[in-house]
Amino acid sequence: MDYQMVPSICPYCGVGCGVLLEVIDGKLAGTLPLKTHPNNEGKLCIKGWNLHEHVVSDNRLLFPLVKEEGRFREVAWDEAIEISAKRLKAIIEEFGPDSVGVLTSAKMTNEANYLIQKFSRAAIGTNNVDHCARL
């Protein structure tokens, strides 16, 4: 059997607690607080303790879905991006850029968050940007 403890950072909020991901035979099986991490000193909140669950969850979205006539259809990434771009463009043309808001995520990296705010300001033309850590 293979057992590994992989140190990582909790992606949920801005605190950045150290976590230990328990990997048994290549599968994510549990989360422990990283005791020697300076941010959380071996403590976690309930979201951090259950970090592994959203990775292995049955409800996790693994591919893009498009809703057509009330039903979801699995599509390729290119098609999904094309549909989103067309709809966004149409909305911006009809109602103006401030009719669009962008919600980013604490679960993404700093770089990804930078990109999405740049996208909303430069491509869409709005400063309606917010983030789940401000909720």
Residues found near other proteins in the complex (CB under 8 A)? 1, 3-5, 7, 18, 20, 22, 24, 29, 32-37, 40, 42-46, 48-49
Q: Would you say 54 or 73 has its CB closer to other proteins?
A: 54
The CA distance from 126 to 96, in Å, is 9
Residue 35 or 87 with smaller CB distance to other proteins: 35
CB of 63 to other proteins, least distance (A): 31
Distance CA 69, CA 51 (A): 35
CB of residue 61 to other proteins, shortest distance in Å: 24
**Which residues are 46's β-sheet partners?**
none
- The residue (of 41 and 68) whose beta carbon lies closer to other proteins is 41
Give the nearest distance from C-beta 15 to other proteins in angstroms: 11
132: phi > 0 → left, psi -120 to 50 → alpha, else beta; which? alpha
Q: Which of 54, 48, 9, 46 is nearest to 28 (CA)?
A: 54
